[in-house]
Amino acid sequence: MTFDHRLFKVLVTIFALRTVPQRFYKPAIFFLAIFLASLLVERVIKAPDQQTPIPQALVLVFFISAPFLMIVFVVVSYLDRLQKKLAILASTDLLTGLPNRRDFLNRVRLARNAGDLGTLILLDADHFKRINDTYGHAVGDICLQAISARLNEITTPDDALGRLGGEEFCVYLPAPRADAVKPVAAALISPIAISSHLVTPDVTVTLSAGIAAAEQDLRVEDLLQRADEALYMAKENGRAQFVVWSKRPPTLPKVA
């Protein structure tokens, strides 16, 4: 973290008005502090008969400090809100509203660093290029949003999910949800009917999935690679299904 970033965090902590109560007590505290400081300085440098009466000093300090404090509070609060919006944009896939690849993998790393040996489900829309070529990218976008809705519908707040890119999505189920992995995967890959005025008749989207369980010394990148290998097997075996990664991958059916 750079010095400028640390300084900004300090300024935000002190001056940002994030809640309704802060809009009242923070300016009041700063105004009171400025008034007491100015009163103390005046008492030190001026003789008693030259000192400004307290009511008059209170009014004077208010009119001098209020504009400055207002500008500082407004500017820092605006920058705080702007930074939060930029952070959301940097971590969110704009089309689906899901966390993007970087944010999803960061969440998985945090879970892994906390000792959670969860399970990764990597999903890919079947024949997505064909949908784009046949119906256009607008329908393709609708399909991706429908897949996103399916992920949100099936998963829980404890699960991590995201769009890795293109038509690839991912879900990470924490260790306590181990028994739910296969039911969740089955629900995720069930056909999704896409109803839109842009297509007649309705389009049905299916998903293939690869599943890989985390291990103690397994990196997140390697876990994703295992899930990708299992996904490849699901595609080769006919799509619209899930395959669990194992050290002995299933043998592909022979093509005559």
Residue with tokens 């809705």: 149
For residue 221, indicate whether it is catalytic.
Answer: no
- Annotated catalytic residue: which of 167, 168, 221, 229? 167
Helix (H, G, I), strand (E, B) or coil at 6: helix
How far is Cα 123 from Cα 228, in angstroms, rounded to an integer? 9
How far is Cα 165 from Cα 250, in angstroms, rounded to an integer? 27
Residue with tokens 């990764």: 120
Cβ burial of 220 (10 Å; 0-12, 13-18, 19+) is: middle
Measuring CA to CA, which residue among 121, 117, 126, 248 is closest to residue 182?
121
Q: Would you state the structure tokens that stand for residue 175, as one six-digit string?
A: 């260790």
Is the distance from CB of 224 to CB of 160 less than 8 angstroms?
Answer: no
Helix (H, G, I), strand (E, B) or coil at 206: coil
Is the distance from CB of 159 to CB of 177 less than 8 angstroms?
Answer: yes
Active-site residue numbers? 167
